[in-house]
Amino acid sequence: MRKSVITLAVAVTVGLGTSLGGMPAKTEAASISKLKEEQNKIHEQRSDLNSDINQANDKITNLQDQQASVKSELKRLDLAISDAATKIDEQAAKIEETKAQIATLQEETKILKERIKKRNVLLKDRARSYQDTGGMVNYLDVLMGSTSFSDFIDRANAVATIMQADQDILKQHEADKNELEEKQTQVEKELASLKKMLADLETMNKQLTAQKAEKDKLLGSLESQEHEAHEGMLDLKEQEEILAAQEISIQKTIKLEQERQAKEAAAAAAAAAAKKKAAASSNSGSSSNSSSPSAAAPQVSSGSFTRPAPGVVTSGYGGRWGSFHWGVDIAQSGNNVPIVAAADGVVSVAHYSSSYGNVVYISHSINGQVYTTVYAHMSGYQVSPGQTVSKGQRIGTMGNTGDSHGQHLHFELYKGPWAYHSAINPIGIVPI
């Protein structure tokens, strides 16, 4: 959209190349109509800029809405991630606990199995010795050794008790062993399920983190887009300010041009009348006396401009440091170095710009051609918008404000009204 503005501005500038010739009155009338045409074109540029600014504002609002929604999504993701992290910690703690339980159970099972094994050996030995001695010899020995029936009963009971005890021990050991194994299986199952849950949580956490990174990236891109939109808009805003101010100064230039033309016409008429009167009344003088310098002298372009500042040219117009230098730099050390208007004109802008520092723009109408001069990086200025200035009149002091390295004047010349990046080389027009 900026391009269209530049194109328009260039079109205006190109359309202004006036060639003076023929009858002066006609040319001057033409120059007035051209100035008016120019004013209309500036008005059109302003409308274009306004719609560009509105578009930029809409874009910014839209980007800000998108950012707000991404931010709320990021907040939700942050909460989900911290929730997942808490659950992961809990699961990990549970797993550690379960693992400790399993280790204890394994130790207990080992000891118990060892005991069972020893018992089994013992019981087997006993059973083998029964067989070797023909069945329940040991028990029978015990029984046969009884001295009376009641002794026999006692001994039989004792044998039965011992046998039962053996059986009970064996059963108990079996039960213990089964219980332990069951417990171990159960705990291992629990561990497997915990591990699966942990893995699921970790996967979820990974997904959330990836989502968050993506949203972060999106937010970053939206923010940088907004920044760019702002920069573009600020640029346009400054342009709009300058164009608006220019409209006023060009109006005033038209008025001054009209007044000057009226004055010239009156002076020419007076001179013609005087000449006629002189010719009629006397015959001697002829034309040698009639040279009144202000009346008949045509406006000249050479001599219309003067050097805007004392000092040396440190940088000319054109390509520099891989970019384009749209003006000429003139440097002079010392305090209070004066900056003067390069030609008669009307101040359109006198303000502070982040790039140009303290800067003054002046509209000129020279020979029916509008020029604009720009004086940048001044330490201060002493003119205000709308003020009429004359060639060589002090407008400010050389300085080092804005995007500048060292005290100097950055001077720009435009053929026609100011338009972004359309300054011309002043060498050959302004005596620098």
Supply the minimum distance, in Å, between the C-beta of residue 307 and Zn ion.
16
Binding residues for Zn ion restricted to 298-327, rule: CB under 5 A: 327
Q: Which stretch binds Zn ion (CB under 5 A): 148-156, 277-285, 349-357, 404-412?
A: 404-412
Nearer to Zn ion, 71 or 320 (CB): 320
Supply the minimum distance, in Å, between the C-beta of residue 204 and Zn ion.
59
Nearer to Zn ion, 385 or 402 (CB): 402
Nearer to Zn ion, 327 or 345 (CB): 327
Q: Does 28 bind Zn ion (CB under 5 A)?
A: no
Nearer to Zn ion, 359 or 419 (CB): 359
Nearer to Zn ion, 201 or 330 (CB): 330
For Zn ion (CB under 5 A), the number of binding residues is: 3
Supply the minimum distance, in Å, between the C-beta of residue 320 and Zn ion.
9
Rounded CA separation 380/402 (Å)? 12
Nearer to Zn ion, 139 or 420 (CB): 420
Supply the minimum distance, in Å, between the C-beta of residue 393 and Zn ion.
22
Nearer to Zn ion, 380 or 406 (CB): 406
Supply the minimum distance, in Å, between the C-beta of residue 52 and Zn ion.
27
Q: Which stretch binds Zn ion (CB under 5 A): 114-122, 226-234, 284-292, 410-418?
A: 410-418
Q: In the structure encoding, which two tokens stand for residue 248, read together? A: 């006023």
Q: 13-27 burial, b for 16+ CB within 10 Å, e for fewer? A: beebeeeeeeebeeb
Find the residue with minimal CB distance to Zn ion: 410
When binding is defined by CB under 5 A, the residue of 52, 247, 329, 344 that contacts Zn ion is 329
Residue 7: CA count within 13 A, CB half-sphere: 5
Q: Does 410 bind Zn ion (CB under 5 A)?
A: yes
Q: Which stretch binds Zn ion (CB under 5 A): 24-32, 101-109, 200-208, 409-417?
A: 409-417
Binding residues for Zn ion restricted to 221-280, rule: CB under 5 A: none
Supply the minimum distance, in Å, between the C-beta of residue 258 and Zn ion.
35
What residue ranges bind Zn ion (CB under 5 A)?
327, 329, 410
